[in-house]
Amino acid sequence: MISKAHKILTFGGGSGQYALLSGLRDLRDINITSVVSMTDNGGSTGKLRDEHGILPPGDVLKCIIALSPFHEAANQILLKRLNGDWRLKGHNAGNMLLTMFSQYTGSFPAAIKTLSEILEVKGRVLPITTDKATLVAELADGTRIYGESAIDIPQSPLRQKIKNLFLVPHYKNSISAYPTVIEEINKSDYILIGPGDLYTSIIAILIVPGIKEEIQKTSAKIFYILNIMTKFGETDNFRGYDFVQEIENYLGRQVDGIICNVRKPNNHLLNKYLNEKSEFVELDKTETWIGDRIIYDSDLLDTSVEIVRHDPYKLASLIKCIVFNKTNKCLRCSKK
């Protein structure tokens, strides 16, 4: 008997999404669709966006590589920074390819599909919107910060807490979700939100008009993958509750479950991150606010590197337990 493939939709960005997709890539009997924010305006991505008018390719490229069976070679080749020609300095080959394909086809989704075809990607990578927009954060004191890169890197050590996030369109009066994303929400069995920067990677997706409404209607199970560390300027002093509350505020509904890491990094790494005003995120699953949300907590920490991130294979193993209803047998999983 042929088993039905489970449809998994992911929302996120940066290294967190790369780790998640790298693990999910090798699971059998699942179909993966990754949705990426389109507001990055820093580095190579920002330059290409400004100079060529394309949508930002950076996070899309990382997701494509993560889902490719040739990810090791693609990492070395497509993410290598160019230094030869001054016009290409600071860019990487992957961003340049997406730019060229986008201009040649006249469509950024077509460019993504083309590079995905070349790398034989398992699954799909989609932009949350094809409308160009600037991400704006409103702080508690009323100050507004324009652009993802400015929100990411505070100019002051005393920056106020982010109170609200919204998008400003460049050429239209409004922004709309990419229609294929709406279709994927309706067809999904599971929606995985995170890991990634809370505001600039995740909520930047959820605030695109039409997304919240579709998620509120979906019958898919929704799981939030909690970050391991806080981020200075975005989530200072946040505990697990604060992350979940913000996600649910922008979703307009409760998540079905929370996936979280319980293993603390070693003291050397904790002190290193503390110097960057970043702290370990803890979630107490006995707190009353948990309610009927299911908590899946386990050791999800990657101990092979000198940075704090999710281990792709530990994370994928736990998600496999959840999707295939084997949480009672999975030794990694401590279910509430």
Task: Return d(Cα 49, Cα 41) in angstroms, integer.
Answer: 7
Q: What is the mean pLDDT of residues 85-106?
A: 84
Dihedral-angle region of residue 25 (phi above 0 means left; psi in -120 to 50 means alpha; beta otherwise)? alpha
Residue 319 scores a pLDDT above 80: yes
Q: Which two three-digit tokens encode residue 11?
A: 């929302």
Residue 206 scores a pLDDT above 60: yes
Give the model's confidence band at 285: pLDDT under 50 very low, under 70 low, under 90 confident, else very high: confident
Q: What is the mean pLDDT of residues 296-324?
A: 94
CB 118 within 8 A of CB 80: no
Q: For residue range 9-18, list pLDDT tens digits in order.
A: 999 988 899 9
Tabulate helix, strand, coil % of the chain (nearest 5). Answer: 40, 20, 45
Q: For residue range 133-186, list pLDDT tens digits in order.
A: 999 999 999 999 998 888 988 877 778 899 999 999 988 788 999 999 999 999
| Mean pLDDT, the chain, integer | 89
Task: Return d(Cα 279, Cα 282) in angstroms, integer.
Answer: 9
Residue 332 scores a pLDDT above 60: no
- With b for 16 or more beta-carbon neighbours within 10 A and e for fewer, the 176-192 pattern comes to ebbeebeebbeebbbbb
Task: Show Cβ contacts of residue 303 under 8 Å, excluding neighbours closer than 6 positions.
Answer: 311
Omega before residue 195 within 30° of 0, cis: yes
Give the H or E element holding residue 15.
helix 14-24
Q: For residue range 47-81, list pLDDT tens digits in order.
A: 666 566 677 788 999 999 999 999 999 999 998 88
Ranges of beta strands (E only) in the chain are 6-12, 30-36, 124-127, 133-139, 144-146, 162-169, 190-193, 221-225, 257-261, 294-298, 334-335
Catalogue all structural domains in the chain, each as residue range(s) with its CATH number.
6-37+128-335 (3.40.50.10680)
CB 34 within 8 A of CB 28: no
Residue 329 scores a pLDDT above 60: no
Q: Which two three-digit tokens encode residue 212?
A: 């919240």
